[in-house]
A and B are shown apart, each in its own frame.
Chain A
Amino acid sequence: MLLLASIAARAQTPAPHASPTATPSPPPTLLYLNAKRVDFYYDRFLLEADGDVQLRSSDGYTVTGDAFSMDLKLNRFLIAGHVTLHDASGTVSGAAISDFLDFQRIYFVPVTTEPDRWTFLNGDLAHPAKGRVMPGDVFEFPSLPQQPSITGTGAIVGTKTYVRFMNSHTYLGSVPIPLGSEAVNFSANQYFAQNTLSGATVDLTWNVAGNNNSLSAVHFRYDPTYHLYLAFEQHLIGQHEYAIFSVNPATGDRKWWNLNLYEKLGSRFQISTFTQYYTQQDFLQEPRAAQQTTFLSATYAFPHSYVQATSQLTNYNVLGPGSLEHNSIGGSLSHPSQLQVTATSFQNKIGTLPLFEQIYEGYGFNHDSVGANQYLNGFPGYWPQGGVAFAPIPTPGLQAYGAKCTVQPSKFFTYYCPVYTTIWNTVLGFNLFTPALKLNNPPSPYETYYFNASFTKQYQWNSLPHWISTSSENFSISRQFSRSVNTFVGYQILNVGDHYINSGYLPCTPVNSFYCPLSFTSFRGVSTMRTTSFGLNLVPTPEFNFSLLVRHHVDFPIPVPGVFGLPPNNILGQPLYSWFLGQPPYDMTANVRFKIFPHALVDVSKTLYWYGNPYRTQFWQPATVVQVLPI
């Protein structure tokens, strides 16, 4: 049988049979399910139950039977075997009942004196349409995988959003792991995935509770900094807003408390905040140290542009002066703040040219009355005379360019000057780019070459005699040789100028050597990086992917092995910066992805760096990045 306007297409295993016409989306239904055994199959979103099935629906009826089957994505369920249907109008016995919730159709096989076929329309259980032909797949059971993902004795289903299991356990291999309560969210609302946790090497999530608008999760985590620890996260979700709270780690004496708020007001304005509160405390006792940072972002959209204000407010010592005695935390009084308001245009096509432009302009300031990061630079807390007199604060950073004063008033501390407590800035920039342009017009698309180019430029003028300019030019020529092979050759030039009108970067000072490396003596804060890239992607099937990226950098200042440190890596072992001074002149990254399970890929990547003449040094990226990705 054929479908009529059925948009409730099936995820992963579509139904080839008939379904009735979709009506405007009905309100969510709550289903309370109990049975001797309730199984959940994660990869197909199937909920199956057998033995003494009892179902109570928020639509106003209860059903009992022998077996239950529900496709959570199709949003329909079936109960079969010794069925009783009970509602306000009475009780009817039957062989099977199937509720297509999206279509407000209930198909029932009653057994009075003999079997029959009834269809309940739009929730009216008192007036069945008798004898109506039913869709062909209405009473079909799905074929099931060998082992369920979760097994329990009860479940609450919030249609199209979540299912929460009671007395449940999951499986590690074939070994059951007790969970008690476990919620599985399958909502199309992306805000359920917003999170406030930092990255971790391993994260096992236990969703202990959840419903249409909330999700509570305990995370078992590991990362190289905090090692094994627990974290907790609470999500409160709406259609146009969310609030997410977490404490991570929740165990240990160093805790990060996070709060992320978002609200979209009307169709043109949104505001979001992210607050992070760091404490050193045992359990929930009074903290020994606490600091707080809040990011604020507000955006207002115009028909062809938007204005965005971002702000960052930090308090390095929430506990106040004199309250800190911890060895690693000084009595910082720093409260740096920053505000930036930027107007950005849409991407606009320039006339009939294959060129697009985007411009932006911003104003803002950075303010810090005493200086930030002081204790992070290795100065211990010091409170002379029991805190009556504060120690002078040695402060590199915002106020002093990071330069030492020529006259040092103390022999114990290093002072930096001059001091600027507020720096105003004006930012102006634009992006210019061309999308893929055909360079030839052969009969086969696999012989076509494409050209891409982009140019970005940004100036930032500060209220002190200092300005920064950055520009980037990107060119590439690409070709797809076959459906499975494509390559590109790219060239990029990146210029960063850190200009000081008076003085600025001084010539290199040798450290532990008698000479400075090449080109440092002429470096005055302006760098140029030229990168030639070759990329190859080989994708014979969607289940296997190989990619290779080979790059050659010609940079100023010239990199020298051992002079520059390696860039820090993120939690996955990938470089944190996309560019940095001292990158080795050559690098090659290979990446392989392949399918290991029906719904999981493994991704392995590794980078080799090497220097050309005269150093001839080479090294591998310290870690091989391995990720398991659900598909």
Chain B
Amino acid sequence: MIRRLLRSSAILLALVLIAASSSVVVSGQLLAYQDGFVFFTTGDGFRVAQDVVIRDAKTGAGTTIKPVPRIWARATFDANGTVTELDLSRTPLPPQGSFADVQRFAVAISTPAPNPDLLAYAPTPAPGATPLPTQQFSGRPVLVTFIVQVPPITPFTSGVYITTDQSGWNAQAIPMDRIDALHYQITRRYPSGTVFHYLYDRGSFQAKEVAQNGLDRAPRNFIVPDADVRVIRDTVYAWNDQVNGGVNQVQPQIMPTPYNPAPFPNLPPSLPPPQPPPGKPPF
């Protein structure tokens, strides 16, 4: 009795395995559906059966969704590698199967050839030779701390900002915090691999940093590396709107200030202005 049961179970298991091995299911995003082939975003094209069944992936019923680019699909392959069923969805489907398992079913006229652009095919450098530079980015979030030393003539209450091409060069995109008499600091989180150009400023492009030689400086360039944290230390040598020895500050949209003999802003009305030397004629 037990032996008969074991035999029946073995036959049933074998049937299940045969049934399972005869069809492979993978899910992915469609690239195209045309000319009797279905293409996934791997770039692989698979032959489609003439009587392919197209269903809604969620309900299993018929669907009005067309197999067009961007649509998510679950493809069922028969033993010959032909797609016999496509279940479609406008939203991502749970990962199922692996395209590596159906790679052998992909149709291509040409024989695969190595691509020297790709690292897997890069030649091994000769002994003593410098290997080609490689740079990999996983996209992991990285804490990046910027610490900048400002010129000693920077006003104490002045705000210091970072402007970057990532924020359209908004002059107040990244406000920094003063951490002592000469330094400002800010920490931001970026995915590794982020490339940006940046400059320091004091809230406007009229007050951005200039190079040590007084000329306009090119933006700093930074690529976020694969690391847990990264600290960047920079020095600002001068601000565009703060000219050493300047008598009149150049600022747009204000009335021109003639030379002011009283350098005190906010003089109270009870305090008379400086008086002329005595004994001088009125004209």
CB under 8 Å from chain A, chain B span 237-283: 237-238, 243-248, 250, 252-253, 255-256, 258-278, 280-283
Tell me which residues across on chain B come within 8 A of A117, comparing CB atoms.
Answer: 43, 108, 110, 112
For chain A, residues 78 to 122, give those with C-beta under 8 angstroms from any C-beta of chain B: 80-83, 95-96, 103, 105, 107, 109, 111-119
Taken together as a complex, chains A and B put the C-alpha atoms of A3 and B128 apart, in Å, by 23
Total interface residues on B, using CB and 8 Å? 129
Q: Is the interface of B mostly helix, strand, loop or mixed?
A: loop
A155–chain B nearest beta-carbon distance, Å? 18
Contact B182 A1, beta carbon cutoff 8 Å: no
Return chain B residues, CB-CB under 8 Å to A306: 213-215
Please determine whether B134 and A308 come into contact, CB atoms closer than 8 angstroms: no
With A80-B31, A133-B114, A452-B183: A13-B191 Cβ-Cβ less than 8 Å: yes
Which B residues between 10 and 25 are near A, CB-CB below 8 angstroms? none
Residues of A within 8 A of B268 (CB): 520, 563-565, 581-582
Decide yes or no whether A492 CB sits under 8 A from chain B.
yes
Question: How far, in angstroms, from A199 to B174 measured CA to CA in the complex?
Answer: 18
B181 at the A interface (CB under 8 A): yes
B252 engages A537 (CB within 8 Å): no
A431 at the interface (CB under 8 A from B): yes
Residues of A within 8 A of B158 (CB): 578
User: Which of A54-62, A164-172, A256-264, A325-333 contacts the other chain?
Assistant: A256-264
Give the size range of A's interface with the partner.
35 or more
Q: Is the CB of A564 within 8 A of B266?
A: yes
**A475 at interface (Cβ–Cβ under 8 A)?**
yes
The chain A residue sitting closest to B157, CB to CB, is A578
- Measured between alpha carbons, how far is A366 from B110 in the docked complex, in Å? 80
A-B residue pair count with CB separations less than 8 angstroms: 494
Min C-beta distance of A409 to chain B, whole Å: 7
Chain A interface: which of B57-65, B81-89, B162-170? B162-170
User: Which stretch in A26-34, A282-290, A417-425 binds the other chain?
Assistant: A417-425
B109 at the interface (CB under 8 A from A): yes
Contact A433 B182 (CB under 8 A): yes
Task: Say whether B272 contacts A425, CB under 8 Å.
Answer: no
**Cβ of A482 < 8 Å from any Cβ of B?**
no
- Measured between beta carbons, the chain A residues less than 8 angstroms from B168 are 185-186, 193, 630
Q: State whether the Cβ of B41 lies closer than 8 Å to any Cβ in chain A.
A: yes
From B31, B114, B214, contact of A301 by CB (8 A): B214
Shortest distance in angstroms between A414's beta carbon and chain B's nearest beta carbon?
Answer: 12
Shortest CB-to-CB span from B214 to chain A, Å, is 4
How far does the alpha carbon of A141 sit from the alpha carbon of B92 in the complex, in Å? Answer: 12
Q: Does B172 contact A (CB under 8 A)?
A: yes
Which parts of A400-453 form the interface with B (CB within 8 Å)?
A: 400-403, 405-407, 409, 415, 417-419, 423, 425, 427-429, 431-433, 435-436, 450, 452-453
Closest 9 CB pairs of A and B: A14-B193, A193-B169, A20-B117, A131-B110, A578-B155, A502-B277, A454-B152, A301-B213, A115-B45
